[in-house]
Copies of this chain bind each other. A is one copy, B any other.
């Protein structure tokens, strides 16, 4: 049995398998992806996947763990920051989410599929809990702004749903994006800085006019 060796070789290989798996999960879903698919894409022997991760499900969990830790913690810091106004905090949150989602479209497609379904109850609940925590975090910022009367009386969790929902909707299909960016269907809008800026501008303008009195 393999016991978390620190050999750089095998760590690279594990990462390599995780990346191949993530791409396939995003493209074909968890059940739609076979271990043989993953092994072929990562160009390793079939048995190596179970050797390193124990099972397909544990590989999935390892992949979520690795990609999730990659982007944790930043948002919690924002909430207690005394230097920023509520509006600035909202802008930072929007920027952070747009940046993260567009930089890791595959991962967020996987998570979204996981939240839509309710297979793998443990994983599902974990994703839900992270989302609830983020929403509560956002809510308390909005509510402070409402108390200070710099924000209108809005529905905080639904405002958050609109921000995340807009980005997710863009992630749902590359092809749809390209139609409205005037690009060919194979183009990748997510790495296009111009497209990112366009999305950011839209969300900020929409949320600003929703939040602010004028």
Q: Does A162 contact B (CB under 8 A)?
A: yes
CB of B117 within 8 A of CB of A27, answer yes
Q: Which residues of B contact A109 (CB under 8 A)?
A: 116
State how many copies of this chain the complex holds.
2
Q: Does A145 contact B (CB under 8 A)?
A: no
Q: Does A165 contact B (CB under 8 A)?
A: yes
Of A13-21, A42-50, A74-82, A150-158, the one contacting chain B is A150-158
CB of B173 within 8 A of CB of A115, answer yes
A70 to B104, CA, bound (A): 36
Q: Does A175 contact B (CB under 8 A)?
A: yes
CB of B158 within 8 A of CB of A199, answer yes
A28 is contacted by which of B117, B132, B172 (Cβ under 8 Å)?
B117
CB of A165 within 8 A of CB of B158, answer no
Of A1-9, A53-61, A85-93, A205-213, the one contacting chain B is A205-213
A102 to B209, CA, bound (A): 27
CB of A198 within 8 A of CB of B128, answer no
Q: Which residues of B contact A132 (CB under 8 A)?
A: 176, 179
**Contact flags A105-132 to B (C-beta < 8 A → 1, else 0):** 0000100110111110000000010011
Q: Does A146 contact B (CB under 8 A)?
A: no
Q: List 16 A-B contacts (CB under 8 A).
A: A26-B116, A28-B117, A28-B119, A29-B32, A29-B119, A112-B116, A113-B113, A113-B116, A116-B116, A131-B176, A135-B179, A154-B202, A154-B205, A158-B199, A162-B162, A165-B170
